[in-house]
Structure 1
Amino acid sequence: MLTKPLLPRESGRLIASKSQDVTISEDGATDVANMIFKSLKKNEYSVEAWKQHDLHPKLMTKETVDWIFVLDTLNFSFWSEANDKRFLVDYRGSLHSGYWALCAAINRALDENIPITSASYYSRITVDQLRHIFRSATDTDIPLLDKRLEHLHEAGTVLLEKFEGSFVNCISQCDRKASKLLHLITENFPSYRDVAMFEGAAVSLYKRAQILIADIWACFEGKSYGEFIDIDVLTMFADYRVPQVLNYFEVIRYSPRLHEILQSGRLFTPGERLEVEIRGCSIWAVELIRQELKSLMAEDSSLSGLTLNSIIIDFYLWDYSKDHWRDMQHVPIHKIRSTFY
């Protein structure tokens, strides 16, 4: 990149200020902030929710860091063309779809003594080996297998050549700063460079790079490898599910033109203006929710020690989308085949 891109928060602000087909409702942001506030108040949600998911690792070890790195290197594009033809992973007697299918496939491989989290292994993994790891319980294979192979080769090679084969050595170079780690990731691992052009400016969305840091922070509860003194620099992780929830709650609203395109099921192109508007406005919408939540929490001394940032809001909304998917079936998502999310 010849032009240094704006960081995600600044990118979201710029995109929201010049967006033509996506608007943000401050009233909607306030309503969602109040909803999340009530959950926090009742201790129904916290950063600890990350490790409460059955398929996420529980141990705070070096091996867990490398598990998360492989996870987020492959954390993109799981949706199927038809709901009755989904990619599913059978793991310990249960079928898993979407992101959880990825988690299940990694865990299944490790149970089978396949060293999928070892850079020396996945830097040279063959397409047949990877296909076996991601074997489906249905006739529908995981999308973009060739891209996943490419990402693993790239990531493994970089780790071996620059970081002694482990992502913990990337973390050790960041001085406990999420901002420094974000720069290190996007500079050294090309597949994480989630950047687009918007109104003549290079804007970064950095979904996978940010969630990689956030997953480590959440898993390690802000300690050890997950200790970052500036974790609040991260924004939400702009994909297609969280925008759907934001649209469901009318925090972001679509123009009739965009709504018609979404309803048609047209496949979006990575970096096109409409896609960038949806993702950028989602980032800024969550920033408005965060600001309102901080105001609410400042008025309630019982929550003075509670961690609140854009990561927590994103996790909450993403979990909401999974728990209430039936309620949101009428809300269209922007369909896209992208390696960025």
Structure 2
Amino acid sequence: MSLLAQVLPSCARVAEAAQSVRINPDALAAYALRLEPHLPEKLVHSDHHLVGEGETSIAYFLMLDCLNFGSGFFDYWAPYSGETGYFAVARALKDWMVATGPPPPEQLRALTPEAMAHLFHQDHSDEKLAPLLEWFSKACAELAGFLEGPLQGRYSNIIELNNASAPEMVEALTVMPMFRDVVRYDGQDVVILKRAMIFVHDLAIALDQAEEGEIKNLDQIAVFADNILPFFLEANGVLDYAPELKARIASGEVLTSGEPAEVELRACSIHASELLRQAIAARGMAVTARDIDFALWNLGTDLSEEAGQTTHICKTWFY
């Protein structure tokens, strides 16, 4: 069984055994009806992203999703070009990639924490950002090795050498340790793979948008579990948190990556999202997990920006 095929069953096991997070079936059924109008007619990238530039666009999305984490640090991340958080990262990387083109391995390895701060227009002396900038540098060093080795020096080989197949591409990415989003819970592996799946998703949208090709087996991709999805599902009653976990999140406590409650937040989000997809599909609507994620993440991002709304905080390179 491929790693990708293990995401849904491993997360379902967690949902069944979870102690701190519970799925509310009645609320889920009701919310499935409310979610339908928010599902996208077509998945497209916003202009924060670099689309339609062939090899450069593939390099852009591979590097973007190599760095698609840091939510636990975004309170300290300075805006760029009027954008904050993920969109600030995406926009700054787009501007850099347009100026430099696809970076060769030696350029990726030269991206020290200080160089990362310069690329993203951040203050390198800000100690609160130091761990994130270190991880960004480490992630790019891993990408350099991946580009030199499995990709044989060409970013587009992520498609060609993996048969343009979502499961094969996801599996290939997990040779980079920071992409291997697999954790332990109750003595078993839980396969989440947020950044590996979202790269394939992002690339598929970009290729379709630019009419440059397509990726196969995209229906095997699950939602991309971060801190926004559980936050939004809980806000709409689909997830219920135990009082202790609710208090920890409300107080701003930093959860430890891989601790049981943190695994439950992500795994239950994936399982609940799959149940939402099934409920909507049962009414005759063609819907994928990618559509569900798009709607939940955008609605959740809007809600999280309102005063008094709190997502859980976890400082990790998985999201």
Tell me the TM-score normalized by structure 2.
0.89
Partner of 1:171: 159
Change (3 A) 1:126 1:266: closer
In the alignment, residue 33 of structure 1 is paired with which amino acid?
Answer: A
Q: 5 Å matches for 1:197-276?
A: 197-221=184-208, 227-276=214-263
Does the Cα contact within 8 Å between 1:237 and 1:283 map onto a contact in 2? yes
RMSD: 2.5
Check whether the contact 1:89–1:105 (CA below 8 A) recurs between aligned residues: no
* TM-score of the two chains, using structure 1 as the length reference: 0.84
Alpha-carbon contact 2:112-2:134 (below 8 Å) kept: no
- Taking the aligned partners of 1:88 and 1:162, their CA distance within structure 2 comes to 35
One-letter code aligned to 1:340? F
Aligned to 1:151: 139
The alignment of Structure 1 onto Structure 2 pairs a total of residues equal to 315
Alignment deviations for residues 83-131 of structure 1 (CA, whole Å, 9 cap, x no partner): xxx422433xxx21100111122123235x3446444421333333222
What code does the residue aligned with 1:167 have?
Y
CA distance in 1, matches of 2:102, 2:162: 25
Mapping for residues 105-120 of structure 1, pairs under 5 Å: 105-111=92-98, 113-115=99-101, 117-120=103-106
Distance apart, 1:230 and its partner CA? 1.4
Quick check: 1:312 aligned with 2:291? yes
Match of 2:62 in 1: 69
- Alignment partners' CA distance in 1, 2:213 and 2:144: 21
SS at structure 2 position matched to 1:202: strand
- Quick one: distance in 2 between partners of 1:333 and 1:217? 28
Change beyond 3 A, Cα 1:174–1:32 = farther
Of 54, 58, 69 in structure 1, the residue corresponding to residue 51 of structure 2 is 58
- In the superposition, relative to structure 1, how do residues 8 and 55 fare at CA in structure 2: closer, same or farther (>3 Å)? same
Query: Which residue is 2:84 aligned to?
Result: 97
1:116–1:180 CA distance, 2 compared to 1 (3 A): closer
Aligned to 1:16: 15
Alignment of 1:285-324 (within 5 A): 285-296=272-283, 298=284, 308-324=287-303
Aligned to 1:332: 310
- 2:45 aligned with 1:46, yes or no? no
- Aligned AA for 1:46? E
Per the alignment, residue 122 of structure 1 pairs with 108
Deviation string, structure 1 residues 292-333 (Cα, Å, up to 9, x no partner): 11112x1xxxx6xx5x21111111111112233355x44432
Runs of 5+ in structure 1 lacking a partner? none
Identity of aligned residues (%): 25
- Unaligned runs of at least 5 residues, structure 2: none
What letter matches 2:136 in structure 1?
R
Partner of 1:185: 173
Structure 1 match to 2:122? 136
Q: What residue in structure 1 maps to residue 78 of structure 2?
A: 88
CA separation in 2, counterparts of 1:5 and 1:235?
A: 8
Cα distance change, pair 80–174 in 1 and its aligned pair in 2 (3 A): closer
* 2:5–2:220 contact (8 Å) kept in structure 1: no
Structure 2 residue aligned with 1:28: 27
How far apart are residue 136 of structure 1 and its match? 2.8
Which has the larger displacement, 163-172 or 98-107?
Answer: 163-172
Any conservation in 2 of the 1:232–1:309 contact (CA below 8 Å)? yes
The residue type paired with residue 7 of structure 1 is: Q
Aligned pair 1:37/2:36, yes or no? Answer: yes
